[in-house]
A and B are shown apart, each in its own frame.
Chain A
C-alpha cells in the first residue's frame, strides 16, 4: 500500500502527521519532489486560470504522484476553531483533486473543528478505507500527532535561536507553503541571504499564540494562515528589523490583510512582495536589495 502526499499547501503544516500516520499503519509513503518551474507549468496547465499560484503548484504535485501510488491524500480543510477558517481554496482541495484526476483513488478527511473530534474521526475513516483495525488506526494517529507536535516545537526552537543572532533580521510574514517552496519563496530567501539578512518565519511563535496576537491588528479576521502571519508581527516586533509580507498572486485573503498591515504598521518598515510565478527576478532583486539597505541604514542611524 503506497500513499502519495503532494508536497504543497497543507503538507508544510501537517506533513509529519501524515507521514507518521501512514507509516505506522505499515504503508509506504511517497512525497512529490520539491517544486520546480516544470512542475508548476504542469500545474498551471491543469488548473483554472483564476486559481492562485500555490493551488496551481498543488495540482502539479498531484500530477507527479499519479501512477506512483495506490492512494493520494487530498483532505479538505475547513476550520480549526470557531473563528479560525481556512481560505476557501482549502475547502475545495479534495474536490479539485477528484475533478482534475478522475479515476485516481483519493484519500480525504474533513478538518472542521467546531467538532473537536473531526480530525480523529477523519483519520479513523481513512484507516478503515485502508482496511486497518480501529485500535491500530487510533494508535497510529496518536503517534503521528505526537510526532507533528515534536516537529513543530523543534522548528519553533530553531527559529527562536535565529532571533538571538546579531544579524539584520526580517520577519517573512507568509504561510509556510510559500516560504518552504523553492519555486516560490526560495528565490526571495536566496536574495535575502545574499544581502546578509536572516529571515525569521512566523513559526518562531506558536500558531495559537499568533492567532490570538493577530487581534491587535484586527478583531474580525478569521483566516487561519493570515492570522498566524500577522500575529507573528505583533509578537516579534521588538526582535526584528523589518517585515516582508509575501503573497502569491492572486491571493484574495492577502490582498485584504496585507493592505491592512501596510496601513496599520507604524513602527517597523514593511514591504509587500507579490510572487506571480513569472520569470525574471530583476524587480524582486531591486526591492530586496533596497529594503536590506534601509534596514542596515536604520541600524547605523538609530543604534
Chain B
C-alpha cells in the first residue's frame, strides 16, 4: 500500500489516541492520553505531542478521525475521513494482520467483536446497554482494591486458584468480589477471577452466537492487560495475537482510511494552538427539541450537528 502521510486520531470516552503514519503504513509518531471529558483539549495535546515527536519536516496530507467524539474532532482537525470505530478498528487490525478472521476489542466504555472474511468485515456486535466488563469497570475495581490498573495483570498472572466471580453484571461482580475478599481469597486470585469474569461476560454478551475463528487479534486498551489475554486464551483454546500498538489500532485505522481516501487535506499542526469553542442550544423549531452543537474556530463557524431537519442547521 502506498498512500499519503496521514494523521489518525481516535477520541474515545476514556482515552484519546493519535498516530502519524507514512505512505506505507509505518508508525512515525504516536501519542496516548486520557480524554478526561475534554475531547478538544485532548486532541490538541495529542497533535502537539505528535508535532514534537516529528520535529518538523514531515508533511501530513490527510487526517482521519474515529471514536465517539469523531464528529467534533473531525471538524476541528478538518479531517478528510471521519469513520465509526468498528470500521476503523478493522482497518487498523488488517493493516498489521492481513489474515485476521476475528477481532476482539475492549475499550474504556464499549466492547465489540468484528468478524472478517477475505479482508472484509462481514459481521460485528457491540455491547448494547451496559458497560460491564469494559476498561472502566476494571479500573474502578482495581481502584477499590487499592491497585493501579496496570497491576491487575501481574496479580492475575501470579494467581494459582482464580476466584469465581459472577460475570453477568457489574453490580453482581462487585458484590462477589467483596464477598470473596471477605471470605479470605487472595488479591491475586480475585484479580484473576475478575479477568475471567470480563472474558466470560464478553463471550456471552458480545460474542454470543458468533463463530470465533483464528487468527484472533485482541485490541483496545484492555488488551494491554495480560490477565485478560490469558483468560481469553484459556476460554477459546486458541492463540491470541496482541499487537504492541494494540491500544492505538483505532487511530491507525483512521489514518489508513484517510490516507486511502480519494482526496487529502493539507494539515497544519498550528491547529493545536488555535482557539476554538463549541456552543450548545436546544432548537425551538418543533417538538423534537434537537440539541444542536455548533463548532467555532476563532469567530468562524465551522460546523454544526445534532439537528434532525434543516430548521436547526441555520
How many chain A residues sit at the interface, stated as a range, is: 20 to 34
In the complex, A263 Cα to B209 Cα: how many Å? 6
Known: A262-B209, A274-B128. A297 touches B287 (CB 8 A): no
Cβ–Cβ contact A287 & B126, under 8 A: yes
From A36, A291, A293, contact of B287 by CB (8 A): A36
In the complex, A301 Cα to B291 Cα: how many Å? 39
In the complex, A274 Cα to B123 Cα: how many Å? 18
Within 8 A of B (CB), among A259-303: 262-263, 269, 271, 274, 276, 279, 282-283, 285-287, 289-291, 293-294, 297-298, 300-301
Within 8 A of A (CB), among B261-295: 286-289, 291
In the complex, A301 Cα to B121 Cα: how many Å? 10
Known: A298-B122, A301-B120. A282 touches B68 (CB 8 A): yes
**Is B32 interfacial (CB-CB < 8 Å)?**
no
**Is A128 interfacial (CB-CB < 8 Å)?**
no
Cβ–Cβ contact B128 & A269, under 8 A: no
Cβ–Cβ contact B122 & A37, under 8 A: no
Cβ–Cβ contact A190 & B308, under 8 A: yes
**Is B76 interfacial (CB-CB < 8 Å)?**
no
Shortest Cβ gap from B308 to chain A (Å): 7
Cβ–Cβ contact B87 & A39, under 8 A: no
Cβ–Cβ contact A290 & B308, under 8 A: no
**Is B10 interfacial (CB-CB < 8 Å)?**
no
Query: Count of chain B residues with Cβ under 8 Å from any Cβ of A?
Result: 23
For A301, give the chain B residue with the smallest CB separation.
B120
Cβ–Cβ contact A286 & B86, under 8 A: yes
Residues of chain B contacted by A274 (CB below 8 angstroms): 128-129
**Is A38 interfacial (CB-CB < 8 Å)?**
yes
For A299, give the chain B residue with the smallest CB separation.
B120
For A266, give the chain B residue with the smallest CB separation.
B211
In the complex, A263 Cα to B288 Cα: how many Å? 36
In the complex, A286 Cα to B120 Cα: how many Å? 18
Within 8 A of B (CB), among A147-194: 187, 190
**Is B84 interfacial (CB-CB < 8 Å)?**
yes
For B70, give the chain A residue with the smallest CB separation.
A286
Cβ–Cβ contact A294 & B287, under 8 A: no
Residues of chain A contacted by B119 (CB below 8 angstroms): 301
Shortest Cβ gap from A289 to chain B (Å): 4
Shortest Cβ gap from B274 to chain A (Å): 26
From A262, A276, A286, contact of B84 by CB (8 A): A286
Looking at chain B's contact residues, the main secondary structure is loop
Residues of chain A contacted by B83 (CB below 8 angstroms): 289, 293
Cβ–Cβ contact A36 & B288, under 8 A: yes
Within 8 A of B (CB), among A76-114: none
Residues of chain B contacted by A269 (CB below 8 angstroms): 122-123
Cβ–Cβ contact A290 & B288, under 8 A: no
Shortest Cβ gap from B259 to chain A (Å): 17
Residues of chain B contacted by A300 (CB below 8 angstroms): 120
Known: A36-B287, A262-B209, A301-B120. A293 touches B87 (CB 8 A): yes
From B68, B122, B126, B129, contact of A294 by CB (8 A): B122
From B84, B120, B291, B308, contact of A289 by CB (8 A): B84
In the complex, A45 Cα to B143 Cα: how many Å? 40
Shortest Cβ gap from B103 to chain A (Å): 13
In the complex, A287 Cα to B206 Cα: how many Å? 14
Known: A36-B287, A37-B287, A37-B288. A298 touches B87 (CB 8 A): no
Within 8 A of A (CB), among B82-107: 83-87
Shortest Cβ gap from A79 to chain B (Å): 31
Within 8 A of A (CB), among B114-136: 118-124, 126, 128-129
Cβ–Cβ contact B288 & A294, under 8 A: no
Cβ–Cβ contact A290 & B122, under 8 A: no
Residues of chain A contacted by B87 (CB below 8 angstroms): 289-290, 293
Residues of chain A contacted by B129 (CB below 8 angstroms): 274, 276
Cβ–Cβ contact A38 & B121, under 8 A: no
For B121, give the chain A residue with the smallest CB separation.
A294
Cβ–Cβ contact A301 & B287, under 8 A: no
In the complex, A301 Cα to B287 Cα: how many Å? 43
Residues of chain B contacted by A38 (CB below 8 angstroms): 287, 289
For A39, give the chain B residue with the smallest CB separation.
B287
Residues of chain B contacted by A271 (CB below 8 angstroms): 124
Instruction: Name the residue among B84, B85, B126, B128 with the largest chain A CB count within 10 angstroms.
Output: B84
Shortest Cβ gap from A53 to chain B (Å): 14
Instruction: Name the residue among A262, A269, A283, A294 with the largest chain B CB count within 10 angstroms.
Output: A294
Cβ–Cβ contact A293 & B84, under 8 A: yes
In the complex, A39 Cα to B68 Cα: how many Å? 30
Within 8 A of B (CB), among A24-41: 36-39
In the complex, A271 Cα to B126 Cα: how many Å? 10
From B68, B120, B123, B289, contact of A37 by CB (8 A): B289
In the complex, A38 Cα to B289 Cα: how many Å? 9
Residues of B within 8 A of A (CB): 68, 83-87, 118-124, 126, 128-129, 209, 286-289, 291, 308
Residues of A within 8 A of B (CB): 36-39, 187, 190, 262-263, 269, 271, 274, 276, 279, 282-283, 285-287, 289-291, 293-294, 297-298, 300-301
Given contacts A263-B209, A297-B121, 5 further A-B contacts (CB under 8 A): A279-B291, A282-B68, A286-B126, A287-B126, A289-B83
The 8 A-B pairs with the shortest beta carbon distances in the complex, nearest first, are: A36-B287, A290-B86, A301-B120, A289-B84, A297-B120, A38-B287, A286-B84, A293-B87
